[in-house]
A and B are shown apart, each in its own frame.
Chain A
Amino acid sequence: MTLVPTFDYAPSLESTPVEIRERYGHFIGGEWTASGSGESFATINPATEQTLAEVAAGDAADIDRAVRAARRGYEKYWRKLRPGERAKYIFRIARALSERSREFAVLETLDVGKPIRESRDFDLPQAAAHFFYHAGWADKLAWATRGAERSRPLGVVGAIVPWNFPLLIAAWKIAPALACGNTIVLKPAETTPLTALLLAQVCLEAELPPGVVNVVTGAGRTGAALVEHPDVDKLSFTGSTEVGKEILRATAGTKKRLALELGGKSAIVVYEDAPLDQAVEGIVSAIFFNAGHVCCAGSRLLVQESVHEEVVERLRARVETLRHGDPLDKNTDIGAINSRRQRDSIIELVRSGVEEGATLVQASARFPERGFWFPASFFFNVAPTHRIAREEIFGPVLSVMTFRTPDEAIERANNLPYGLSAGIWTSSGQLGLYTAQRLQAGVVWCNTFNQFDPSSPFGGYKESGFGREGGVAGLREYLDL
């Protein structure tokens, strides 16, 4: 054989510089302000465990200041503005996000641990797209609300967002809220506040009137203060089903409108006639996108028994080719787990899977000593009663089960309290439609997965929550109709 050079990718680190301050305050009423209590906490890079910045820990008094500022911003400026003027501000934010997208992407990757390829190619373009899309709606709301007698903004919106897509999910809530004439108080996740704070800076530079967008950082109790504040007109929460239920209880009997986007254990149904190579790529994208830290991750795989072995064999080979490692490397497919707590929770559930008798397959990845990591994994020989078949793992772990007939697949897919997304793989159009019509999920993807667009609504069934984000349906959630 001819001697040829060995070809492997050299490290290719994203080098765009981003300025991170040593400490951050809250962004309230158009100004940076310290916590009333003076307390702060560190946000770290989960790939190195190094502190990125100290961030103010908000308490009920900080939330109260922010809600008051939002109310003032609403009464004094935002509700009085002509809709076309609102649109201009939102366009300005959209353009700033596009122009500074590399900077935002690097910051997101540092704080979340997700691969730069994803923050660069997914989070940032999508976040900007949400602002562009909703800017267009601001002066055309009559078209979104035809048939309604009146349509008015709601007032002050409280938004609580998770750590898996910190900027993007903030954009999902801020953009429609502003387009519809509301003002907003945003509480980013405790472990990932930095891009929300940079977005606040962008709002400041865009000369958004004071109080229209406010950001208060903190942990669960900060969020609870926002939930309990009497002058919040609407709450939009994305996070765990457990916290979602608490919010539902806490807001019962109040004027607050609610949208909850919660957990999931979404099923992918693979029929024997599916193009299996493509299906395997779809499965990989469904469960390993953002290391499985996706509320709509396809974490349960239901394979027709006749092709089960073939699919497992292909998955085994494919998982081995995933590139684990430094999130800032442009060729990394799976980065770090966002926190020690999350990593430990994944380990605990995976252990339960092994103990309950499922067969574990893991990519043979090597990780640095510091940082929080978990290799791409899947289980087969999973019984529907196993914890790994019922509980949300929120990590790069897939559970593979089998079925015999379409109706059995549908029954198994629906047989959980969750219902966020679902996937179908088949070459038969009629089988695809038959299945899609019967799956209880907010989004059903057929022969693809993880397709998002600001014009397409997203949301859950059952305990995955209610309310929609995106599209006309999402827009109407921010209006008093």
Chain B
Amino acid sequence: MLEARAALLAKRSIKAVAKQAGIDLLISCLDLTTLEGRDTPGQVRALCARANAPSPGAPPVAAVCVYSTFAALAHSELADAPVKVAAVAGAFPSGFSPLELRLAEIRAAVAGGADEIDVVVDRGALLCGDSARLSAELEAMRESSGHALLKVILETGELGSYQAIRRACDLALEAGADFIKSSTGKIPAAATPSVALLMCEAIREHFRRTGRAAGLKLAGGVRTTKAALGYLAIVKETLGPGWLHPTRLRIGASALLDDLLMQRDKEASGAYAGSAYVATL
């Protein structure tokens, strides 16, 4: 049922004004990301500039997402901008390092000016059934994040079954995650419509039971406007219009912005510009 429902929603026909609104909403919900071993201060500065002003007339993105060591730089680059700074911390992308070190990294990123912290869960703990330890770790991370938002990456592509993914969602939400996030973007298996729907269902259930509205972040593999609009449909029809806002929905991506801007121009002008006319990084 999950896959059938997700496929149906991802095929919703989104045209004309709905497409225009959807594109701007997607830009507003974007976590523009660079998470590479070859990241440099120059690269991060360019990312910040683009995040704040993607294209004439286009809204700024929600946040930039960088390694924790670049949080301070991004913070100063975006001092006057509405764009938030999200930092991955806690031994991204494996999560394998002593808890104290992971917590220290989180505290350092927050001290450096990160508004949001993206951490990975220890998939090993999930798969071997050590959920008590995982819960305790996540609660500690939530505490170390202080006033920053905590986004918990489940790396759903490594969990092996929808059941395990749903368990991970429930556990992270229970531990106080502000957002649950699908993927690191570091493995080929990334966000899929079915996983997005499953995560929405977990958030909906958590909201129904506790009244706390957690957010959803989809990351990894979302490269086209068409796919991203499909995710909007999934969120809209599962969680409701209240979730169509950067405070509750994020898309983590780097290449997606290029296509969004290209489609945005096309909707406005009626014709596609060459890819050379869309500034990329």
Chain A positions within 8 Å of B233 at CB level? 9
Which one of A7, A117, A447 contacts B241 once the chains associate, using CB atoms below 8 Å?
A: A7
Q: Is the CB of A282 within 8 A of B1?
A: yes
CA distance A321 to B240 in the complex (A): 9
Across the interface, do B5 and A281 meet the contact criterion of CB distance under 8 Å? Answer: yes
* Min distance, Cβ B212 to any Cβ of chain A, angstroms: 17
Other-chain contact of A9, B1, B14, B28, B201 (Cβ < 8 Å): B14
A395 CB, min distance to chain B CBs, angstroms = 22
Report B13-55 residues with CB < 8 Å from chain A CB.
13-22, 24-25, 28-29
Q: With both chains docked as a complex, state the minimum distance between the C-beta of A243 and any C-beta of chain B, in angstroms.
A: 33
A148 adjacent to chain B (CB < 8 Å): no
User: Is A277's CB under 8 angstroms from B22's CB?
Assistant: no
Q: Are A12 and B15 CB-contacts (below 8 A) given A2-B82, A4-B28, A447-B1?
A: yes
Given contacts A2-B246, A282-B1, A448-B1, contact A9 B25 (CB under 8 A): no
Q: Which of A1-37 contact B (CB under 8 A)?
A: 1-2, 4-10, 12
Residues on B with beta carbons closer than 8 Å to the beta carbon of A285: 1, 4
Please give the distance in Å from A276's CB to the nearest CB on chain B: 8
A275 to B233 alpha-carbon distance, docked (Å) = 22
Q: Is there an interface contact between A2 and B245, defined as CB atoms closer than 8 Å?
A: yes
A330 pairs with B13, CB closer than 8 A: yes
**A45 contacts the other chain (Cβ, under 8 Å)?**
no
Partner of A4, one of B25, B201, B205: B25
Interface size on B, residues (CB 8 A): 38
Q: Which residues of B contact A279 (CB under 8 A)?
A: 1
Task: Give chain A residues whose Cβ lies under 8 Å from the Cβ of B21.
Answer: 5-8
Name B205's closest neighbour in chain A (CB-CB).
A277
Q: Does A50 contact B (CB under 8 A)?
A: no
A23 to B208, CA, bound (A): 55
Q: Given A5-B25, A6-B21, A12-B13, are A278 and B1 also a contact pair (CB < 8 Å)?
A: yes
The complex places the Cα of A10 from the Cα of B245 at a distance, in Å, of 19
Compute how far the CA of A60 lies from the CA of B1 in the bound complex, rounded to whole angstroms.
47
Interface string of B197-211 (1 = CB under 8 A from A): 000010011001000
Q: Which residues from chain B contact A282 at a C-beta distance below 8 Å?
A: 1
Shortest CB–CB separation between residue A312 and chain B, in angstroms?
Answer: 13
Q: Is B266 an interface residue (CB 8 A)?
A: no
Interchain CA distance A313-B11 in the complex, whole Å: 27
Q: Which residues from B are CB-within-8-Å of A321?
A: 237, 240
What count of chain A residues pass the 8 Å CB interface test? Answer: 25
**Chain B residues positioned under 8 Å from A275 (CB to CB):** 166
Whether B24 contacts A5 by the Cβ 8 Å rule is yes
The verdict on B2 contacting chain A, using a C-beta distance below 8 Å, is: yes
Contact of B17 among A2, A10, A277, A313 (CB under 8 A): A10
A8 to B21, CA, bound (A): 8
Q: Is B236 an interface residue (CB 8 A)?
A: yes
Task: Return the CB mask of B224-259 against A: 1 if under 8 Å, else 0.
Answer: 000000001100110011001111000000000000
A309-345 near B? 1/0 per residue, CB < 8 Å? 0000100000001000000001100000000000000
Residue among A275, A277, A330, A448 with the highest chain B CB neighbour number at 10 A: A277
A331 touches B13 (CB 8 A): yes
Q: Which residue of A lies closest to B20 (CB)?
A: A5
**Chain A residue at smallest Cβ distance from B26:** A7
Cα distance A448–B201 when bound, in Å?
Answer: 17
Q: How far is the CA of A5 from the CA of B241 in the complex (A)?
A: 11
* CB of B280 to closest CB in A, whole Å: 24
Alpha-carbon gap, A406 to B271, bound state (A): 61
Is B12 interfacial (CB-CB < 8 Å)? Answer: yes
Q: CA–CA, A62 to B21, complex, Å?
A: 57
Tell me, in angstroms, the Cα distance from A331 to B8 when the chains sit together. 10
B1 cross-chain contacts in A, Cβ below 8 A: 278-279, 281-282, 285, 447-449
**A4-B246, A7-B232 given; A278·B2 CB < 8 A:** yes
Q: Output the nearest chain A residue to B62 by Cβ-Cβ distance.
A: A2
Roughly how many angstroms separate A6 CA and B236 CA in the complex, as a whole number? 11
- Which residues of chain A are within 8 angstroms of B20 by Cβ–Cβ distance? 5
Contact with B along A226-263 (1 / 0, CB 8 A): 00000000000000000000000000000000000000
Give Cα A5 to B21, complex, Å: 6
Bound CA span A447–B19, Å:
35
The digit string for A163-186, where 1 denotes a CB below 8 A from any CB of B, is 000000000000000000000000
CB distance from B153 to the nearest CB of A (A): 22
B229 to chain A, nearest CB (A): 9
The smallest C-beta distance from A120 to any residue of chain B, in angstroms, reads 10
15 A-B residue pairs with CB within 8 Å: A2-B246, A4-B29, A4-B59, A5-B22, A5-B25, A6-B21, A7-B244, A8-B21, A10-B15, A277-B205, A278-B2, A281-B1, A285-B4, A313-B208, A330-B12
Please list the 8 inter-chain residue pairs (A to B) with the smallest Cβ-Cβ separation, ordered nearest first.
Answer: A12-B13, A330-B13, A5-B21, A10-B18, A277-B201, A281-B1, A278-B1, A10-B16
Query: Which residues of A pack against B, CB within 8 Å?
Result: 1-2, 4-10, 12, 117, 275, 277-279, 281-282, 285, 313, 321, 330-331, 447-449
Sample of 8 further A-B pairs with CB below 8 A, known A1-B247, A7-B25: A2-B246, A7-B18, A7-B22, A7-B241, A10-B19, A278-B2, A281-B2, A281-B4
B residues adjacent to A (C-beta < 8 A): 1-2, 4-5, 8, 11-22, 24-25, 28-29, 59, 82, 166, 201, 204-205, 208, 232-233, 236-237, 240-241, 244-247
